[in-house]
C-alpha cells in the first residue's frame, strides 16, 4: 500500500471531505447523533487534518485549543484502512504539529474507552473517571507537550 500523506486543511472543500469521513464513522458506524458531530469549533478555530492514500481520503482529525490544552478530537481512520498503523501515524503528526506550533503546554484528548491502549502506546495517560459523551463511554487522557 502507498504511504499516507497528511496535510493541514486549508480549503472549505477539504474541510467538507473531513466532515464526510467523520459522518461515515461517527454517525453511521458508531451511532453518534448527527447534530452533535459538527460543532461551532469546526468552522471557527479548529485545525483540521486530512490523510490521503493515492489521493483517496483515508483519515482525519482536528485539534482545538482550550486554555492550557491542545485537544485532539474526531480521530478517524476509515474502516478499510484500519490496523495498518495509520492511526498512530496520524496521531504522531498531530502531536508534532501541536508541539512545533506551541499550541499549549498539554496535549489532551477524550478517548473512547476501547481505544485507551492505543493512546497509551502514544504516551497519553488517563485522568479522572469514565464519562458518557453521545452515548459512548470516554475517559480523559493527557501528556505534556
Ligand atoms: C482508533 C482508530 C483511529 C485506530 O486507527 P488504526 O489505524 O486502526 O490504528 P493503528 O493501526 O495505527 O494501531 C496502532 C496500534 O494501536 C492498536 N490499536 C488500534 N486500535 C485499538 C483499539 N481499539 N484497542 C486497542 N489497541 C488498538 C493497534 O493494535 C496497534 O498496536 P500495535 O502496533 O502494537 O499492533 C480507528 O480504529 C478508528 O478510526 N476508529 C473509529 C473512530 C474512533 O473510535 N476514533 C477514536 C475516538 S477516541
Cell of 115: 481505544
Q: Does domain 4-144 have CATH number 3.30.360.10?
A: no
Give the per-residue pLDDT at 113: 96
Mutation choice for ligand 1 from 37, 118, 121, 142, CB with most ligand atoms inside 8 A: 118
- DSSP for residue 117: H
- pLDDT digit string (tens) for the chain, length 145 residues: 789 999 999 999 999 999 999 999 999 999 999 999 999 999 999 999 999 999 999 999 999 999 999 999 999 999 999 999 999 999 999 999 999 999 999 999 999 999 999 999 999 999 999 999 988 999 999 999 9
| Burial of residue 41, with CB atoms counted within 10 A of its CB: 0-12 exposed, 13-18 middle, 19 or more buried | middle
Residue of the nearest CA to atom 15 in ligand 1?
118
Give the per-residue pLDDT at 87: 97
Whether the Cβ atoms of residue 46 and residue 69 lie closer than 8 Å to each other: no
Distance from residue 46's CA to the centre of ligand 1 (Å):
23
pLDDT tens for each residue of 52-66 = 999 999 999 999 999
Give the per-residue pLDDT at 1: 73
Amino acid at each position: 500500500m502507498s504511504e499516507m500523506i497528511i496535510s493541514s486543511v486549508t480549503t472549505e472543500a477539504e474541510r467538507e471531505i473531513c466532515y464526510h469521513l467523520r459522518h461515515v464513522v461517527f454517525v453511521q458506524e458508531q451511532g453518534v447523533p448527527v447534530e452533535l458531530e459538527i460543532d461551532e469549533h469546526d468552522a471557527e478555530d479548529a485545525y483540521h487534518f486530512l490523510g490521503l492514500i493515492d489521493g483517496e481520503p483515508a483519515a482525519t482529525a482536528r485539534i482545538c485549543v482550550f486554555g492550557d490544552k491542545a485537544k485532539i478530537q474526531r480521530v478517524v481512520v476509515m474502516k478499510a484502512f484500519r490496523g495498518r498503523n495509520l492511526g498512530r501515524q496520524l496521531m504522531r503528526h498531530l502531536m508534532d504539529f501541536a508541539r512545533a506550533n506551541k499550541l499549549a503546554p498539554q496535549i489532551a484528548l477524550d478517548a473512547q474507552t476501547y481505544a485507551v491502549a492505543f493512546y497509551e502506546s502514544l504516551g497519553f495517560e488517563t485522568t479522572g473517571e469514565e464519562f458518557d459523551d453521545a452515548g459512548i463511554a470516554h475517559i480523559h487522557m493527557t501528556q505534556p507537550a
